[in-house]
A and B are shown apart, each in its own frame.
Chain A
């Protein structure tokens, strides 16, 4: 199909979609209006259960099964990254000499800033996970902070230190175990008080998200650094 025909087809589709969507939103309640029945019920239940952060209560408690699915998507993606990007590892090993990624040439200021920020960021991540049931934040947000924190080492120019800091097999195992723990709590801890369940789930999610992020990024790092290595002609 030529680009022109494709665009024409898309234009026809767009006209239909726009008409459909415009007609649909005319039937919606007023923007910013006061009627939110599900929200009212969710707030009521969260307050009754003693979880001040209602979003956390909805995410982990009332609709915990959604979050289970989401966790599994993360787990699947981490496994998938191993599968989809594994050939590169094999190519690397077939070549015999593994690549060396020594400390890069970066300024001392950047190096020191990275080293100083690392512990602070880790503590912030743990805080966001741990206080998820009370204040904005939670396992996902904190997990992302934790997962990216260790990559400050890369920004500080020290890829070998990053590799030492994150032994990948351990992270793979930890991620899968966190997912299993989350599944077990969501489906079989209906009897616990929400004040115990929500923090536990937050913790499991934080661990899983952090580990999954590290794993995913590590696969892309391998790709990027492999391609950039001047000793190897890019394929």
Chain B
């Protein structure tokens, strides 16, 4: 019953807010939404706590497995954990928007609750087509939330790009689901998986179905070259929405790939395509992140990089790597959520999130400064954060299967993204303010703040959620390795999902507990943090009196030897920026090419 309630409660609350939002006072809207999110958090936590001991499965409408026509909801520990992460982030986002965030007829709160319901539904559903429906619901709400401040031109443009690219991906997913249905006559993940496993190697149809289904999820997970929508959408979406996008929505794409693979296609197709696209995302996202001045865009590219690492972790296809990926996902959600809320604090105080305009203007915002400093260090994997545990465990597991390249990739991506964040901290909180006369007065667009009034000092409701999320990101590293390893084993076990959903039977594996506290793990973290600090220092713009700082590689360019390097870097930078053109035709062409790459890599035997 609690699984249905997890979806029904936010839906009912959203419907009531939509029905009465015109007349309700703001306080009631805030309280109702927060209360609902808190209740959903509790429900998912209960499901998470129960899932290792009792099967958490519900067949909707009483159409049980015997009838062969119903839709199941099932919560294994990872599903419940994902839903719980979504609920916690929603709680933080709603707390941040308490009272001050500009509201239109309670629409924002209603949509955030619908978003929560869609994410929980997607995490719990055990049916392919139902997953598509909730995936689409998630997308539709996401487009609308992105376009929320529709008075700004870049907002609607970003939302439209987001909408078109996501929808193409979703329709390809649906085509893949149709292929599975035609072949097996089943829509349930478990039943279709059993059917395909019994039929043996599938050839073209299985490859085609897997590639098409994964395309939609990989668009959501922003794997290269499907990633273009993400930065466009994140840069313009309201801050609380960015928390949900970066913290969990994008990661649900990774979850979708993992769930579909192990429940339906286990062992029938290789995952190397996912690894390649994920690795490309990790590298490109990290490099692009360093090249940004717009803080939200910077964080968005950093999300692309970290989710790319998650995809590689899933593609390693071992329980150990998946356990590490789970640590990373939870830790990243907390840290990235906190950083976005920090960016929101900057936006509401200074009406801009461009680092070039914010130089030295962080004084008087010590809490936000601490969030950026600690957030940067946690992104680099400072122990005992969840990201540290994730990197340590995943690197160990990847090395075990001979993926020697994973550790350098993970270190490089983490160091670059963390360096970018640390640079923001250094410029905004540790530099002398630029003299007023020399401030950049180029074609910058002042952004409207998200609050009705520009706040002189930030209320604690805007600061506390960030701190709590940061603490949560820290605490996830302390989750004992035993249950995580057991959950990963249950997730990847051959036929384990079908046994849970169809027979109500739990598998009780006793794997070696995941152990982040190893010497290579600490060494990796130390190297990453050191590199991150070096990168931040090297790319720090020099405080030239002309105020034209902010050019990446400023330090380098001052030395004669560095000039050639600087020029080459500038050329590469320009090409990378030009690639992310905001042109929807480009994005669609890249998407099609990405499907071809996926197909090629998956079809190779």
Contact = CB atoms under 8 A, between A and B. Distances in A.
Q: Do chains A and B directly touch (beta carbons under 8 Å) in the complex?
A: yes
A102 interface: no
B137 A73 contact: yes
A104 interface: no
Contact of B207 (A24, A72, A183): A24
Given A24-B205, A75-B15, A87 B150 contact: yes
B187 A38 contact: yes
Given A66-B127, A73-B140, A173-B19, 7 more contacts: A21-B208, A62-B67, A65-B130, A66-B130, A80-B140, A83-B104, A190-B60
A80 B136 contact: no
B204 A24 contact: yes
A169 interface: yes
Nearest to A74: B140
Given A20-B599, A24-B204, A76-B137, A87 B593 contact: no
Interface of A: 1, 3, 6-7, 9-10, 12-17, 19-21, 23-29, 35-39, 41-42, 45, 58, 61-66, 68-70, 72-73, 75-80, 82-87, 169, 172-173, 175-177, 179-180, 183-184, 186-188, 190-191
B133 interface: yes
Contacts of A85: 150
Interface residues of B, number: 86
A163 to B, nearest CB: 17
B179 interface: yes
A36 B185 contact: yes
B208 A24 contact: yes
Contact of A13 (B69, B71, B137, B595): B595
B599 A9 contact: no
A86 B62 CA distance: 42
Contacts of A39: 185
Contacts of A41: 67-69
B19 A65 contact: no
B482 interface: no
Interface in B259-302: none
A84 B204 contact: no
Contacts of B140: 73, 76-77, 80
B85 to A, nearest CB: 21
Interface string B16-33: 111110100000000000
Nearest to A178: B15
B19 A6 contact: no
6 contacts: A17-B596, A19-B599, A29-B183, A66-B130, A69-B118, A76-B141
A83 B205 CA distance: 42
Interface string B184-225: 011100000000000000111111110110000000000000
Nearest first, the 3 closest Cβ-Cβ pairs linking A and B are A16-B596, A24-B208, A27-B205
Contact of B204 (A23, A169, A186): A23
B69 A42 contact: yes
B592 A10 contact: yes
Contacts of B592: 9-10, 13-14, 16-17
B213 to A, nearest CB: 11
B156 interface: yes
Interface of B: 4, 7-8, 11-12, 14-20, 22, 60-63, 67-71, 104-105, 107-108, 110-111, 114, 117-118, 121, 125, 127, 129-130, 133-134, 136-137, 140-141, 143-144, 147-148, 150-151, 156, 159, 179, 181-183, 185-187, 202-209, 211-212, 578-579, 581, 583, 585-586, 588-597, 599-600, 603
A179 B17 CA distance: 12
A177 B14 CA distance: 10
A79 B111 contact: yes
A21 B209 CA distance: 9
Contact of A172 (B12, B18, B207, B600): B18
Contacts of B212: 20, 24
Nearest to A69: B133
Residue from A24, A177, A187 having most chain B Cβ neighbours under 10 A:
A24
Given A10-B592, A16-B596, A86-B150, A176 B208 contact: no
A20 B117 CA distance: 34
B320 to A, nearest CB: 32
B10 to A, nearest CB: 10
Contact of B130 (A17, A69, A83): A69
Contacts of B17: 176
A6 B589 contact: yes
A73 B136 contact: yes
A2 to B, nearest CB: 10
A65 B208 CA distance: 27
B204 A26 contact: yes
Given A29-B183, A183-B15, A187-B8, A13 B593 contact: yes
Nearest to A20: B599
Contacts of B129: 63, 66
Contacts of A20: 204, 207-208, 211-212, 595-596, 599, 603
